[in-house]
Amino acid sequence: MDIGTINPSLDDLDLEGWTLHPRFDYGADSSLSDGVTANAEPGGCDHHEDCEDGNVCTKNKCVMHRCYFKPVDDGLLCDDGNQCTSDPCLAGVCTGTNLPDGTACDDLLTCSGQDSCVAGTCTVPGSVVQKIVFSTTRDKPVPDPGTLPQVNLEIYLMNPDGTDPVRLTNNSVNDSFAALSPDGKGRIVFDSARNSPPGSPPQPRRPVLDEG
């Protein structure tokens, strides 16, 4: 038992600016339970660390088995988990202020391109563009008569109205089943037989991740 907590010092007894912590339920004594949240934890405390609430923007202490908290000085740096904000403590809360648009960041997706902050969010900058990705043999020569057709699909990208088709792959094997990433990062995943032995028929292969 922490004797210094159960028999607090004069400094501990000074509760000016401190507030009874709403995280805990102190039972039938309504004078101690005012403002307690509905999902408060039962019981009191024996040590200062029993009152730790995980908020770096508050100080916490145990006085006579009761938890109290007090905001730290405004301006103390904290971290809200968003790399596109500057985070100072303000009135006991970690507040995020957006960094300037264009500030470099990393969304941890290796194939998403050069990331930067836009309106407080780490993303690939630029306006949204709608595209269709598809597979076709349109640019492959027609096999000679009597020759077993060898499927040789390639990946293309075009506008929704069919204009401006762009060929993305060009090799002697099958590239197919292409799909655009749903997060709008411009990535394309597709199946490829490019690692197959020469002359082998198209076989499903591990999808290849490529940037669009």
What is the DSSP track for 54-110? S-TTEEEEEETTEEEEEE--TT-B---S-TTEE-BEETTEE--EEPPTT-B---S-T
Tell me: do 119 and 170 sit in the same domain: no
Tell me: do 205 and 140 sit in the same domain: yes
**Given a cut of 80, is residue 91 above it in pLDDT?**
yes
The per-residue pLDDT of the chain, averaged, comes to 74
Residues 6+ apart with CB under 8 A from 149: 143
Between 171 and 204, residue with greater pLDDT: 171
The pLDDT score that the predictor gives to residue 43 is: 55
Is 160 domain-assigned?
yes
Is 146 domain-assigned?
yes
The pLDDT score that the predictor gives to residue 30 is: 39
Q: Which two tokens stand for residue 42?
A: 């039962």
Tell me: do 113 and 182 sit in the same domain: no
Is 144 domain-assigned?
yes
Is 143 domain-assigned?
yes
Is 77 domain-assigned?
no
Is 175 domain-assigned?
yes
Q: State the pLDDT confidence band at 36, using cuts at 50, 70 and 90.
A: very low
Q: What is the mean pLDDT of residues 196-210?
A: 53
- Domain span holding position 34: 3-71
Between 200 and 114, residue with greater pLDDT: 114
Please state, in angstroms and rounded to a whole number, the distance separating the CA atoms of residues 1 and 51: 15
The total of structural domains in the chain comes to 3
What is the DSSP track for 163-174? -S-EE---SSS-
Q: What is the mean pLDDT of residues 51-79?
A: 87
User: What percent of the chain clears pLDDT 90, i.e. is strictly above it?
Assistant: 15
Is 168 domain-assigned?
yes
pTM, whole model, 2 decimals?
Answer: 0.47
Tell me: do 202 and 148 sit in the same domain: yes
Is 151 domain-assigned?
yes
| pLDDT tens digits, 135-162 | 888 887 766 666 655 667 899 999 889 9
Tell me: do 138 and 196 sit in the same domain: yes
Q: State the pLDDT confidence band at 123, using cuts at 50, 70 and 90.
A: confident
Q: State the pLDDT confidence band at 106, using cuts at 50, 70 and 90.
A: confident
